Amino acid sequence: MTKKSFCGISGSGMSALAQILVHLGFEVQGSDRSFDKGNDQENKQALEKLGIKIYPQDGSAITPDVETLYVSSAVEDTIPDIKAALEKNIPIQKRSDLLAEIFHHYPYNIAVGGTSGKTTVTAMIGFILDKLGLNPCVIDGGLMLNYIDRPGIPNIIYNPGKICVIEADESDGSIEKYHPYISVINNISIDHKPIPELQKLFSDFAARSSHGVVINADCPECAPIANKNITNLKFSILDKTADFYASDIKALPHDTQYTFCDQTFTLKLIGNFNVSNALAAIAACSLMGVDKLQAAKTLEEFLGTKRRLEVIGQKNNITVIDDFAHNPDKIKATLSALKNYPGRLIMMFQPHGFNPMRLMGKQIIDEFCTQMDNEDILLMPEIYFAGGSVTRDISSLDLINYALSKGKQAHYFATRDEVKQFILQTASPGDRIIIMGARDNSLPQFCKTVLEELK
């Protein structure tokens, strides 16, 4: 049996592919420094139950019988596993290359791109196709709540059929590797790359599609994108001339109601942006021959993905919410959804990466300030740093000072524990505590700790 090893196996992208290879019959192993620190133990146990052997990230996993070592785009040659593979002349392959290889094995493949919402749209498409018996293989960047009772980590649905649905990442440029049957472009906004660079990435993405392109008509940066040789479908919650249009959107206590094709549907999610996400998924499925009303009806049972406006719990009428928002567009979507409901917002934003904060830190604070009422509070610990060599010439304190200059309640803390203590001392009945940020797997546990320690 061929042995495959993964460096950083707890990450959402890596764990998904490791599980797919198990289903394909490979012997899979891996390491992750989060495991070595005692973190992400649920992921570790879930992977081990699938038969994946977990090693310390000290190079011991890289034995001569390992055929390939898979790494993410973020790792460096100084990591012991990589050093060991180089010394033993074991091939090292990027995660995105493996994903492309699996993706192109399926003739009817759907790739979902966009700087916001692609995890949810990927999960929605996969859920529709799965529930309607089309047996898709789904590889997502988030945990799908409808599948949390299945063995393993619920960021995949494995089927050996003819359909594959993936989340295509533009942040590292790997979206260039995919040649989809159907492509979805959910939106384009500043994130890891400037807008002109993103527009070219997504224009090329659409050009490589062979059957259909689904495009957000409400995103001005998407407007010029089209593939004139295939079907182009546009979706909108603003323009009734779009191919897929929803109106009469209404915020319910825990759901969102909308009208589509003169029928009323209800999502078990909040926020107008999730109606937009639903339209993107319905449009993509229609290109696969699924009846659009049947797709919309199926989505009424969709529970969402973890860390996307996920309510962790409530204590003494204080609600704790976990959210992945980390760029201006995502923050706008999250806060505008929450503003449909009463209550003060106490928001902890965990910035990740010095380069992203240098690129879009001020825009992020501008978005917080636009959405915040006078009673709302913004809290920030220091920038999350995953390792490597980078110029650290920006701090969370700079961003908090910018928010203060705009007249908002904002506080900087050197550590996350200090943030927690402030929240516990400040929160009162009716408040909503939102923990926001990406790429840090410890944030969900932080949310649970805050909830547990609330008085």
CATH number of 310-453: 3.90.190.20
- C-beta of residue 209 within 8 angstroms of C-beta of residue 189: no
Domain extent listing, the chain = 3-95, 104-301, 310-453
CATH number of 104-301: 3.40.1190.10
pTM for the full predicted model: 0.88
Query: Looking at residue 54, what is its pLDDT?
Result: 97
Task: Select from 356, 360, 422, 408 the least CA-distant residue to 384.
Answer: 356
Tokens of 210: 């062979």
Q: What average pLDDT is seen over the chain?
A: 92
Is domain 3-95 in CATH 3.10.450.50, yes or no? no
Phi, psi (rounded to 5 degrees) for 85: -65, -40
Query: Looking at residue 74, what is its pLDDT?
Result: 63
Amino acid at 348: M
The string of pLDDT tens digits covering residues 115-150 is 889 999 999 999 999 999 999 999 998 999 999 999
Interatomic CA distance for residues 99 and 94, integer angstroms: 9
Interatomic CA distance for residues 264 and 111, integer angstroms: 28
Interatomic CA distance for residues 248 and 267, integer angstroms: 13
Give pLDDT < 70 ranges for the chain: 1, 74-75, 191-192, 386-392
Query: Looking at residue 51, what is its pLDDT?
Result: 96
